[in-house]
Each structure stands twice: as structure tokens, then as C-alpha cells.
Amino acid sequence: MRAAWVLLTALAALAAYYVYVPLPGAVSEPWKLMLLDATFRAAQQACHLIHYLRLSHHLVVLNYLIGTFDKLKSVSSEHINITDAVFDGVEVRVFEPPAKQDETLKRSVVYIHGGGWALASARTSLYNNLCRIMAESLNAVVVSVEYRLVPEVCFPEQFHDALRATKHFLHPDVLAEYSVDPSRVAISGDSAGGNLAAAVCQQLSKDEHVTIRPKLQALIYPVLQAFDFNTPSYQQNMNMPVLPRYVMINYWIDYFNGNYDLAHSLLINNHTALDVSQALSFRGRLNWTSLLPSSFRKNYKPVIQTTGKAEIVQKIPALLDVRAVPLLAENETLQLQPKTYILTCENDVLRDDGVMYAKRLENAGVAVTLDHFDDCFHGCMIFTIWPTDFSAGIQTRNSYIKWLDENL
């Protein structure tokens, strides 16, 4: 009996050691965040083992686990009609509030989900719940894009899917079918979905054949660049749940169908060293020493290699492709962007991506709202359903929907 108690005590200590991650004092609900992070890490490690044994790709297994526990069928609620459709070959889920007697046309949001271009779905409960609440709160038609994922496809296919679905919806006949006001359409997304939303919005702004363009873009902790993995937020939050720096770098490698052997070189910015000629013209567009306020720069120093590895960019030219890294777009493109909302979290490696994009857009003459949360973390806005319900999720979601309601 005594041996059993010793074993249980040892297991409890090991579990606590695995779960515990040092967190800043300002993070809301730290132990709940640690438990969420430990669960995700355990699932990732199990999936990597399956990958190592060559039984399946780790992202396929991880997405299967997510889908098994989370996938919802297309079921309409009492207040929102939820249907699945196909827009120009791309699956979408459409959330429609009931028509009102004195109403002619509704406003609308095209929403692109996050997940590192590899995980989640418009059909999971997390995004199903978010889009349903958006449709109810805004009395708006919400189109959630079900783009294809890594490893089935890699860049630029996710971008192409999001662009095709959005352009299809913006066609006057389709907007009329859903009773949507053409002058009141927004495009939005979180994390990797924010990346796709920003890239699609840039492309639409340059397409002379597009007659209807988004009135607004709303980007939630977007990932916008792979040029510098040592911005202050990358350095400050390198081990922060639920998106440590090495995980974000691996998402980029998977998105570009690259080799994990490149991870360390990317981490120390070897791909954008001063002797990498392809990167020189972009350096001024991502100078965080001038784009970030001093409260974010703190005492962090830029990591700029004198000599690096030009072959990385030669192997993966998408590292500098604005369709993948919209923060690197030229000013002429930024000037064409619509009124913009960007939500950032202090405890997030991607904080500075969003802050720098807000500053560049502002410098280009675009009206920008930067909504920053000191106590929140990456991904928090979708975590509003038990058992992964966080006050940070409710707080950020309410602020985001409030801005849309006031501006769309």
C-alpha cells in the first residue's frame, strides 16, 4: 500500500512538472492556460511519435483528433440558419440570421479560421460558435471559409482557396442571393486566417476586375511575416503557451513544404542576413526599431546576421512572397487597404506582426484601430466553450464584435 502511495505521489509530481510553465503575472487564468497547453503538447508529441514511426503525417493525426472530439454537423439553431455550400470549388459554411420585416439587405463578414494553415475547420465547435454569435450579434450573414489544409496542400493553395471563395461571394448575383448589402462586407480571420484575410484583401484591392471590395478588414492576432523571428514579442514570448516560437516556425515550414532542418537557421534569421540580396529590399518595411512603440521594444535588440544562407530563400522563395507575408507589401498596396481593425495580445509571439502592420497601414493613410490586450494570449478568442472557456476569450470576442457592429 505504501509503495502505491509513493508511486501515485511520484506520478502527481511528474504531471505537475509537465503541466507547469512559468507565465507572466498579468496572464489571466494561468493554471487553466497551463492545462490547455499541456493537453495540446501531449497530443502534439503523440502525433509526432506516429509521424516518426511513419504511420501517418503528424498534422493529419492531430487534425483527426481535433475533428473526432469537436466536429459538428450542419445544424441550424433557432435563430440562425446554418448551411454548407461550395463557392467556386471551395467549401464554405454560411450563417444566416432570419429576415426582418422592415429590413432589405444585411451586412456580412467573410471569416477565415486559424490553425497554422494546417489545423481546425469552419465546422469545429469553436469556430461554429464564434460565427453563430457573430451572425446573431451583428444580424449579419457570415461566410466561414473551409480552405484546404497542410499537408494535403501547401502555399499558395490556402491563399487561392480563400481568394476564390471571397471573390465568388462578392459577385453581385451571389450577394443578392444572400440579401447582402454590397457596400457592407468585411473580411476577417484569426492567426493564420488573419494572414489569409490580409493577403486576400491586398489582392482584391489590386484586382481591376473586382467591382465590389470589402468595406473593412478585421485581423485577430494575425501572423504576417516570416522575415524576422526575433522581434521583441518573439523574444519575450518564445516559450509562451499555446504558440511558442519553435511551433510557429514549424507551421511556416509546413506551409511552405520545407524541411525541418531549416528551423534553426530561420530562428536566428540566417535567411534574411545582410548578404542575402533577395531580402535587402524588404528590410526597411520591417524595421521594428521604428515601427514599434518603446513600450513594446523594451530592451530587446535586433538579431541581424552579417552572413547567412541565401540558399534558404532560393529553396523557399515564398518567405518573401507578399501573398504569404502581407506585412512586406509595398506602400502602394497598403494605401489601397480598407479601414482596419487589428487585435493583438501581449503574451503572443505574433504581437509585433499585428502592431507593425497597424503602423505601416497608418503611415500609408489607412484608418486603423489597434486593440491590444495586456492579459491575453494567442488563440484566446475562440476559447469560450467549456472546458476551454477563458475570460480572455469573452473579453476579446466582445471587443471585436463591438468594433464590427460600430463600423460595418
Supply 244's cell numbers: 511558442
Supply 246's cell numbers: 519553435
Residues sharing a CB contact under 8 Å with residue 203, sequence separation 6 or more, in sequence order: 163, 323
Residues sharing a CB contact under 8 Å with residue 143, sequence separation 6 or more, in sequence order: 87, 92, 93, 94, 95, 108, 109, 110, 111, 165, 169
Q: Residues 254, 348, 352, 353: which is the catalytic one?
A: 348
C-alpha 276/C-alpha 311 separation (Å) is 9
Backbone angles phi, psi at 392, to 5 degrees: -60, -35
Question: Helices 2-19 and 30-52 sit at what angle, rounded to 10 degrees?
Answer: 90
Q: Residues 58, 160, 168, 378: which is the catalytic one?
A: 378
- Concerning whether 348 is annotated as a catalytic residue, the answer is yes
- Concerning whether 77 is annotated as a catalytic residue, the answer is no
Q: Residues 191, 228, 271, 353: which is the catalytic one?
A: 191
- Concerning whether 378 is annotated as a catalytic residue, the answer is yes
Is the peptide bond preceding residue 109 cis, with omega within 30 degrees of 0? Answer: no
Backbone angles phi, psi at 386, to 5 degrees: -60, 140
C-alpha 221/C-alpha 154 separation (Å) is 22
Residue that the C-alpha cell 499537408 belongs to: 151
Sign of CA pseudo-dihedral 215, 220, 225, 226: negative
Supply 232's cell numbers: 521583441
Q: Is 406 exposed, middle or buried (0-12, 13-18, 19+ CB in 10 A)?
A: exposed
C-alpha 285/C-alpha 365 separation (Å) is 16
Q: Hey, what amino acid is at 291?
A: L
Supply the residues annotated as catalytic. Answer: 191, 348, 378
